[in-house]
Structure 1
Amino acid sequence: MLVKKALHEDWIAVIVAFLSMFIIITFYGPQMPRYSWYDTQTFVQELGKGGNYLHTLVLFAWATLALILYKFLNKQERPFSVIPGMVVVMLISMLAQFITSNHAVKNLGIEIVLFSLLIGLFLSNVTGIPSWVKPAIQTEFFIKTGLVLLGAGIIFHDILKGGALGILQSVVVVFTVWYFAFWVCKKFKLDDEFKMMISSAVSICGVSAAIATSGAIEGDNKKLSHVISLVLIIAIPMMLFMPMIANALGLSEAVAGAWLGGTIDTSGAVVAAGTILGDEALKYATLVKFSQNVLLGIAAFFISVYWTYRKNGPGKDIQERPGLASIWQRFPKFVLGFVLASLVFSFLLNPDVAKAAKAPIKDLQTCFFALAFACIGLETKFTDIFKMENGRPAMAFIIAQVFNIFFTLIMAYLIFK
Structure 2
Amino acid sequence: MSTGVVPGLVLVAMITSVAYSARGFSGLALFSPMILAVVAGMVYSNVLGLPAHAKAGIAFSQKRLLRFAIVLLGFRLTLGQVAGIGLGGVGIVAATLGATFLFTVTLGRLIGVDRKLAQLIAAGTSICGASAIVATNIVTDARDEDVTYAVAAITLFGTVAMLGFPLLAPVLGLDQHAFGLWAGASIHEVAQVIGAGFQNGTLSGETATVAKLTRVAMLAPMVIALGLMARRGSTDASGARPPLPWFVVAFVAVVALNSLVAIPAQFHSVIALAAQVMLTMGLAAMGLQADISQLRSRGLRPLMLAFSAFLFIGCFSLMLVKFA
Q: Which residue number corresponds to residue 12 of structure 2? A: 89
Tell me the equivalent position of 2:273: 363
Number of the residue aligned with 2:249: 336
Q: Distance in 2 between matches of 1:334 and 1:246?
A: 33
Would the alpha carbon gap of residues 375 and 225 (structure 1) be closer, same or farther in structure 2, given more than 3 Å must change?
A: closer
Matches within 5 A, 1:336-415: 336-349=249-262, 353-387=263-297, 391=298, 394-415=299-320
On the 8 A contact 1:139/1:372 being kept in 2, the answer is yes
TM-score by length of 1: 0.58
**One-letter code of the match for 1:359?**
S
Tell me how far 1:89 sits from its aligned partner.
Answer: 1.7
- Output aligned runs, 1:208-219, within 5 Å: 208-209=135-136, 212-213=139-140
CA contact (8 A) 2:35 2:151 kept: no
Q: Tell whether the 8 Å contact from 1:258 to 1:416 is kept in structure 2 after alignment.
A: no
Looking at secondary structure, tell me which structure has more helix per residue: 2
Q: Report the 3-state secondary structure (helix = DSSP H, G, I; strand = E; otherwise coil) of the residue aligned with 1:146.
A: helix
Q: Return the alpha-carbon distance in structure 1 between the equivalents of residues 78 and 107 of structure 2.
A: 36
Provide closer, same or farther for how the CA distance between residues 343 and 239 of structure 1 changes in structure 2, counting only shifts above 3 A. Answer: same
Paired residues, number: 292
Aligned residues: CA RMSD: 3.6
Structure 1 spans left out of the alignment, 5+ residues: 1-67, 69-78, 215-222, 262-269, 312-318
| Correspondence 1:115-154 to 2 at 5 A | 115-137=36-58, 138-154=61-77
Structure 1 residues 299 and 112, CA gap change in structure 2 (3 angstroms): closer
The 1:198/1:364 distance shift into structure 2, 3 A limit, reads closer
Query: Residue 155 of structure 1 corresponds to which residue in structure 2?
Result: 78
Q: Which has the higher contact order (CA 8 A, sep 6+)?
A: 2
Offset, 1:357:
1.6
Query: Which deviates the most, 277-286 or 170-179?
Result: 277-286
Q: Which amino acid aligns with 2:279?
A: F
Q: Which runs of 5+ in 2 are unaligned?
A: 124-131, 199-204
In structure 2, the CA distance between the partners of 1:343 and 1:183, relative to structure 1 (3 Å rule), is: same
Counterpart for residue 184 of structure 1: 111
For residues 363-385 of structure 1, the C-alpha deviation after alignment (integer angstroms, 9 at most, x for no partner) is 32232233233223322332222
Q: Deviations over 1:338-368 (max 9, x none)?
A: 332232233223xxx5223222222322322
Larger of the two Rg values belongs to structure:
1
Match of 1:168 among 63, 78, 95: 95
CA distance in 2, matches of 1:228, 1:408: 21
Name the TM-score, length of structure 2 as normaliser: 0.72
Structure 2 Cα separation of the partners of residues 115 and 306 of structure 1: 35
Deviation track 1:306-337 (CA, whole Å, cap 9, x = no partner) reads 8988x9xxxxxxx75x9xx77xx34x543433
In the TM superposition, what whole-angstrom CA distance separates every residue of 1:104-123 from its partner, at most 9, and x where no partner exists? 679x5554434433432321
Letter in 1 for 2:222: L
**Pairing of 1:15-414 with structure 2 (within 5 A):** 68=1, 79-100=2-23, 108=29, 110-137=31-58, 138-161=61-84, 163-185=90-112, 194=114, 196-204=115-123, 206=133, 208-209=135-136, 212-213=139-140, 224=143, 227-250=146-169, 252-261=179-188, 270-274=189-193, 276-277=195-196, 280=206, 281=208, 283-301=210-228, 329-330=243-244, 332-349=245-262, 353-387=263-297, 391=298, 394-414=299-319
